[in-house]
Amino acid sequence: MDQYLAGLTTEEINPDTLMIDECTTEEMLRLMNQQDSKVPAAVAAEIPLITKAVDILHHVLKNGGKMFYIGAGTSGRIGVLDASECPPTFGIDPLRVQGHIAGGDSALRVAVEGFEDNAEEGVALIERCGVTDKDAVIGISSSGSAKFVIASLEKARSIGAATIGLVNNKNSKLEDVCDVCIAPVVGPEVIMGSTRLKAGTAQKLVLNMLTTCTMVKIGKTYNNLMVDLKASNIKLYDRSVRIIKTAANVDSETAISYLESASMNCKLAIMMIKTGLDAEDAKDGLDQCEGNLKAAIRKFSHVS
């Protein structure tokens, strides 16, 4: 028996759910809900470390670097999910925020858990991705023992990249290869070792924090509006119009007109309305302010 694995909080038996197989449906659901309610507090306890991680990621993206999520199994799928949602939400190049899972994209649909033990493939992934000292690699592993993830972080660190860990156990093996290691401890799972439950939920919450707060810091929002979204479908087009109406205090007709004049660029449309600049000059103004709409409006609002 592996003593490291046997000592993990995520591998313990939960005394509160011992008789779950004798519960009614409602009793089972209430047990799960009670256990899930412990997750936010575990994440809150890690906010000082999450703060450090966000500041690292802000520095990386602001200076042209990339961030890479690396994980296996559930952890890998959650990382890929978070990364894949950044381009439509924040309008960032998909190459700037990447998610990778042990076993490749096919592992997103069909479990290939053995790949988490392949350290050589972890190293090879970092090499294939072209990670440099300008980048950050975030390794995700509930146990903190996945060799694929540990080897990826070791390789990234040797290149000079920033390394961040996300685990669900304290004093994990992953911690030694991280500049910052975030470890929300959520306790034993409802079903022993099923880390797609509380551990996975905690990971999702932390990754939401990492990307959302980083994107806000690099100017991807205006107040709490996602002004850099891509109007790639009916829902997002409608949202773009509503955002322009709210941010610029105009009616629907005006918002639609400016959105079309701005080639469907929601942020640019708002900049044009608020400053009176044409599309080309408004874009130049945004570029001068590194895409920060609020800063650009303050700087150029007198020009009309």
The residues carrying an active-site annotation are: 85, 116
- The number of beta carbons lying within 10 Å of the beta carbon of residue 146 is 30
Coil/strand/helix, residue 138: strand
Residue spans of beta strands (DSSP E) within the chain: 67-71, 97-101, 136-140, 162-166, 180-182
- 226 phi and psi angles, rounded to 5 deg: -85, 75
Burial class (CB in 10 A: 0-12, 13-18, 19+), 216: middle
Residue with tokens 């350290």: 119
Question: In angstroms, rounded to a whole number, what is the distance separating the alpha carbons of residues 43 and 82?
Answer: 17
Question: In angstroms, rounded to a whole number, what is the distance separating the alpha carbons of residues 284 and 280?
Answer: 6
Question: In angstroms, rounded to a whole number, what is the distance separating the alpha carbons of residues 130 and 301?
Answer: 41
